[in-house]
Structure 1
Amino acid sequence: MPLVRISFQTGKTQAWRQAVSDAVQQAMVETIGVPPADRFHVLSEHAPGFLMIDPTFFDVARSDDPLIVQITLRAGRTDDQKRALYRRITDRLADNPGVRPQDVMISLVENALVDWSFGEGVAHYVPA
């Protein structure tokens, strides 16, 4: 059950936001075995000046329109799976809605089964 946080600048259409969410979800399904209906995405818009992204870190020429994807997920994916996920997310976002690959930053945050509660104050994966 990944929890995905996607940050971008204000002014995007609902169709753009949906395409971004769809691209990230489909990439996770294709590369790291996430079930298609396992979608928990938080999309956050930020006014200009509230996303402070270095324009040339690692010699990547970024524009002033970044998109940040942070995925919290259970530990256990291989390095190759993670690399495939980064590539697939970036490729899908480039295809639709047309996000420049240079503007996509992805971060994975891994945790354990006990770190998840889906409601009612219960650790659903590790019941007492």
Structure 2
Amino acid sequence: MIVIYGIKDKLNPIKSTLSDVIQSCMTDVLTLPASKRAHRIVPLDKEDFYYPDGRSDSYTVIEINMMEGRQQDTKKSLIKQLFNRIEAELGISPIDIEITIKEQPAHCWGFRGMTGDEVQDLKYKVNV
């Protein structure tokens, strides 16, 4: 699951394209199926979104929640792809993008009535 935060006046006009860019990176780098999109977009009023000095109102936070198991190089590649593609396709400078990958053990995930360590029919690999 991915949660995206930003100032609503900047985030709302681009949210569909941003979601497409993020999903394409997830598909290319993590080999997730294109249909495995679980994005939550949280547009905030400017007065509710504090961010570091030196950033613009385009500052966007992307939190990626996933089961642990991906290699360090894979996660770094994902982060770099996100920076590159978001800048190329949306014109948001990497200085205005913050990406955090949060990993949890498979047994901490619950979906389709079971925990992640019980599922046997994933259409993608976690250990990439």
- Structure 2 residue ranges without an equivalent (≥5): 120-128
Structure 1 runs of 4+ with >6 Å offset: none
Match of 2:14 in 1: 16
Match of 1:114 in 2: 107
User: Using the alignment, how far apart are the partners of 2:116 and 2:80 within structure 1?
Assistant: 31
User: Using the alignment, how far apart are the partners of 2:99 and 2:28 within structure 1?
Assistant: 16
Deviations 1:47-105 (A, max 9, x none): 012222212xxxxx422321000000011112211111111111111122221211000
Match of 1:36 in 2: 34
| Number of aligned positions between the proteins | 119
Q: Tell me which of 48, 57, 60 is aligned to 1:50.
A: 48
State, as a whole percentage, how many aligned pairs show the same letter. 23
User: Using the alignment, how far apart are the partners of 1:65 and 1:97 within structure 2?
Assistant: 10
Letter in 2 for 1:69: I
Letter in 1 for 2:87: A
1:20 Cα deviation after fit: 0.5
User: Using the alignment, how far apart are the partners of 2:72 and 2:55 within structure 1?
Assistant: 25
Letter in 2 for 1:98: G
SS, match of residue 96 in structure 1: helix
> What is the TM-score when the length of structure 1 is the normalising length?
0.82
Letter in 2 for 1:51: F
**Correspondences of 1:71-110 after superposition (within 5 Å):** 71-110=64-103
User: Using the alignment, how far apart are the partners of 2:71 and 2:28 within structure 1?
Assistant: 14
> What is the TM-score when the length of structure 2 is the normalising length?
0.82
Which stretch of the first structure deviates more once superposed, 25-34 or 104-113?
A: 25-34
- Whether the aligned pair in 1 keeps the contact of 2:67 and 2:109 (CA below 8 Å) is no
- Whether the aligned pair in 1 keeps the contact of 2:11 and 2:58 (CA below 8 Å) is no
